[in-house]
Chain A
Amino acid sequence: MTIPEIFNILQEKFPEAELVLEENNPDPIIRAKCEAIADISLLLRDDPDFSFDSLMCLSGVETVEEFQTVYHLYSMLHNHKVTLRAGGTKEEELIVPTVSHIWPTADWHERESFDLFGIKYTDHPDPRRILLPDDWVGYPLRKDYEPQKTWHKIPLTAIDYKEEDNGDES
């Protein structure tokens, strides 16, 4: 099944999920409202026409305007792929329903995305930091992140990421 076909079926089944097809990429991406992600995922896994049984990757992303969670799905049976995206503006905390009950591999990936981006996943079975210590302050992959000066009296060499403008010079 191609991504536009999947998109049309999803749009019929979830009229209120504000689905958008982003076609300006090499692979088109289906964008959905945060609240609808878990329901869409469950359908994508369980419907025999889709049967997306494997979650290849789950990543947090920060764009200029918003935080996002991106899901890359794959079906071992039908050999097709789809990418989902959920996002929210930076003014408020991004809260996405967990998909870890649908694909257990999402458990650690969601924890990582919470750890490094501060994206919250509702109903997650184990919402702790995973790579950083539990008492770490801040979310390192955010573009405005500033490392703390010390951690348990250990001085941390602060790298000034602000100085390195992200590719403005050409």
Chain B
Amino acid sequence: MSEIREIDIPVGATPQKISQMLENFEDVHGERMVVQMGPQHPATHGVLRVELETDGEMIMKATPHIGYLHRCFEKTCESMTWQQVVAYTDRLDYCSSANNNLGYVLACEKMFGIEVSERVQTIRVLVSELNRLASHFIAIGTYGLDIGAWTPFLYLIQEREHILDLFDRLCGGRLLLNYMRIGGLTHDLPDNWLKEVHEYLSYMEGKLDEVNSLLSYNKIFVERLANVAIISEDMCIKYGLTGPNLRGAGKKWDLRKNEPYCGYETYDFDIPVGDGEVGTIGDCWDRYIVRVKECEQSMRIIKQATERLEKMPGDDVLAAIPKSMTKVAPGEIYFRTEHPKGELGFYIVSNGKKFPWRLKCRAPSFSSLSVMSAVSPGLLIADMVALIGSIDIVLGEVDR
């Protein structure tokens, strides 16, 4: 224990004055205490344990311990055929399974030189943007929940529910779609499905403004997040943070624009970036608001894709699926796509046989989480929750 000393504090001293006086006593600092945050902490979005070394309310050091959900995805993939892996990629980030499918099938298609029709590409864009919307709704809603706003979460879960119903009609799965295949899709769109998507879009009109007035510009929410846990653009690039986290730091960077795939270059949409509207560029609020703005852009893409599909003549979405994949081209490739969490990369090595020889998944959440121990010194314990929520991790993807 530190020794107890008396100091005279004059009557009517301001808090600033008192803290100035306390600064002269270096040993006023308390003992360091280690706090285990997790693994069953509700704000860690899964099972994550963070070992916090604290001085009073202040974090001095934070060490994340991961691996609680580890199931060796990569080893399992080595004993599955190329097409079977698609179903397993669903389970990486279970909030956005269509985007995981897309990343994997595009990597394989590029490696084996498979070309898919425009209709297949447009359906893929439509489904993955719907899933991006669902994933961002979860991110926004649970972030409010972490900070203490319960109501917006319920609203957003409800809006997400409608998307899951659309997926249910599309392929029978709500969370885990398993809808894409190397070279195509499992089946074409059901009748009237596009009409339902249109109805959903008109239903969603103005809903994001509701989110903004309920949550984004709520005074308590803003004060809780502005200027907290700032991650600069330079730091993002160094630590491999991508997607909304990098855009929140003010970098205009989106693989859908910078390295277009699936015909994204033909769609009209903007890249929202953080601009320090309420605080500093790259703080928690900026990373949060980028996701809200991205939802708007996703809806624009969905609208364009739906209109295109309505005009497009139907064709066989299974046409380009290889009849047999027991003998494939050997080689290796790294291919990356824009996932709701960031850059999802697949590094695939083929030895020409029916199983992947090596499949490495570069998960966006894994890299995002690694920044934590660099950002957290100097944060308050309560701000740790704000940091974890703002980088939007899913532990299924971190642990693989």
Chain A residues engaging chain B, CB cutoff 8 angstroms: 24-27, 29, 53-57, 59, 61-62, 70, 72, 76, 79, 83, 103-105, 107-108, 116, 130-133, 140-141, 145, 161, 164, 166-168, 170
The answer to whether B240 and A131 touch across the interface, beta carbons within 8 angstroms, is no
A55 neighbours in B (Cβ, 8 Å): 240
Residue pair B67, A167 in contact (C-beta under 8 Å): no
Q: Are A56 and B362 in contact (CB under 8 A)?
A: yes
Interface pair A56/B345, CB less than 8 Å apart? yes
Check: B79 CB closer than 8 A to any chain A CB.
Answer: yes
Residues in B with CB closer than 8 Å to A26 are: 110-111, 331, 333
Known: A26-B333, A167-B326. 11 other contacts (CB 8 A): A25-B332, A26-B111, A53-B237, A54-B240, A61-B360, A72-B334, A72-B345, A103-B240, A104-B374, A130-B66, A170-B353
A112: nearest chain-B partner, CB-CB: B366
Task: Please tell me if B90 contacts chain A, counting CB pairs below 8 Å.
Answer: no
Determine whether the beta carbon of A59 is less than 8 Å from that of B347. Answer: yes
A23 to chain B, nearest CB (A): 11
Q: How far is the CB of A1 from chain B (nearest CB, A)?
A: 17
Q: How many residues of B contact A (CB 8 A)?
A: 42
Q: Are A166 and B70 in contact (CB under 8 A)?
A: no
- With a cutoff of 8 Å between Cβ atoms, the chain B residues found around residue A130 in the complex are 66-67
**Known contacts A57-B334, A57-B345, A72-B334, A104 near B238 by CB under 8 Å:** yes
The answer to whether B75 touches A141, judged by C-beta atoms less than 8 angstroms apart, is yes
Task: Return chain B residues, CB-CB under 8 Å to A164.
Answer: 79
**A70 near B347: Cβ-Cβ < 8 Å:** yes
Q: Provide the residues of chain A in CB contact with B237, threshold 8 Å.
A: 53-54, 76
| Interface status of B367 (Cβ within 8 A of chain A) | yes
Find out whether the CB atom of A83 lies under 8 angstroms from the CB atom of B70. Answer: no
Chain B residues closer than 8 Å to A132, beta-carbon distance: 67, 70
B156: shortest Cβ distance to chain A, in Å? 31
Complex A-B: 30 CB contacts under 8 Å = A24-B331, A25-B331, A26-B333, A27-B333, A27-B334, A29-B332, A54-B237, A54-B240, A56-B336, A56-B345, A57-B347, A57-B360, A59-B358, A72-B345, A72-B347, A76-B253, A103-B240, A105-B240, A105-B370, A107-B370, A116-B72, A130-B67, A131-B66, A164-B79, A166-B355, A167-B351, A168-B353, A170-B326, A170-B327, A170-B354
Whole-angstrom CA separation of A76 from B79 in the bound complex: 36
Residue B397 lies at the interface, judged by CB distance under 8 Å to chain A: no
Q: How far is the CA of A99 from the CA of B332 in the complex (A)?
A: 22
Within 300-344 of B, Cβ neighbours of A (below 8 Å) are at 326-327, 331-334, 336, 343
Instruction: Specify which chain B residues have a CB less than 8 angstroms from the CB of A54 in the assembled complex.
Output: 237, 240
Kindly report which residue of chain B lies nearest to residue A113, judged by CB atoms. B360
Q: Whole-angstrom distance between the alpha carbons of A141 and B219 in the complex?
A: 50
Q: Which residues of B sit under 8 angstroms from A104, Cβ to Cβ?
A: 238-239, 370, 374
B74 located at the interface, meaning its Cβ lies under 8 Å from any Cβ of chain A in the complex:
yes
CB neighbours of A79 from chain B (8 A): 258
Q: A108 — nearest CB in chain B belongs to which residue?
A: B370
B357 contacts the other chain (Cβ, under 8 Å)? yes
A153 nearest CB across to chain B (Å): 19
A140–B119 CA distance with the chains assembled, in angstroms: 41
